[in-house]
Amino acid sequence: MKYNCTLLSIYLIAICMGSCRESGQEVIISLDLSQGDWIDLSCPFDENTIYWPTDTQGFLMDTVAFGVTEQDYFYSAFSFCSAEHGGTHLDAPIHFSQGKLSVGDLGLDQLISKAVVVDVSANALAQKDYLVSVEDLVQWEAENGEIPSQTILLLRTGYGQFWPDREKYLGTSQLGPEAIPSLHFPGLGPEAASWLTENRNVKAVGLDTPSIDFGQSTAFEAHRILFAENIPAFENLANLDQLPTKGAWVIALPMPIAGGSGAPLRAEAFVPSAKESIKSQNTNFN
């Protein structure tokens, strides 16, 4: 079978799109990648990368080689050291739920999907330690329709604009355990997390803050509720303000650390142009 290099034919079967398989048929969706925009949802990893305050080392990059060799060609190589949970990264369910999926266990179908963006920035920027509520999600649905099954849910709090200013982004510039009581940033409320797991079928939840739970959380309930259902989280996302409320596709690929509780994440979004129509057709399995 031949493919145009600009054409992405995504075969979304059963789990990938909810009820894609009906009466022995498969839904094929074709998306022309030449008709739209790619948006980087990841922050770069460098000396400014923000980590949880107890990870005081941060991102380290050492030069192994850099320059012209004796054979007269240029060569560069580096080594790096990083905690799992820092910068733009994925939290795997095993991070807070014993026996659930690790980074290496997550399938690509759970990390690639259509996305919806719930913008709570007006409240989150005005109210310290704002918790995204059930009411926020219900209001979004009243305006945009039900959150589709097998969608990646992105929460835009507006805190992405503060990166990489630690004090504005985290609520404190301190490092070490003594910084934890001073953390202040919005997150997903536990009631909303429960509502999602009980009433909607999302693949993952991402947001533009350091944690899916708010800064003053000590029980990390949103993590525990989502992860118990094998729903991973994407944290420290960038540029959510550039995404439409609906219609974007997200590709969120972590470093596949076997058994890992988290990993650095390269997340991208594709926003089809207004002219691009996503075509679908049904074909028989047999």
Question: What predicted TM-score, i.e. pTM, was given to this entire model?
Answer: 0.87
Per the residue annotation, which of 85, 89, 95, 223 is the catalytic one?
95
Tell me the H-state helices in 145-281: 166-170, 190-199, 221-228
DSSP at 148: P
Is 95 considered catalytic here?
Answer: yes
Tell me the H-state helices in the chain: 108-111, 121-126, 134-144, 166-170, 190-199, 221-228
Query: What are the two backbone dihedrals, phi and then psi, of residue 127, each rounded to the nearest 5 degrees?
Result: -120, 120
- Secondary-structure class of domain 37-56+84-272 per CATH: alpha beta
- Splitting the chain (286 residues) into consecutive groups of 10 residues, what average pLDDT does each group show? 41 39 50 87 97 96 98 97 97 98 96 97 97 98 97 98 98 96 98 98 98 98 98 98 97 97 98 64 40
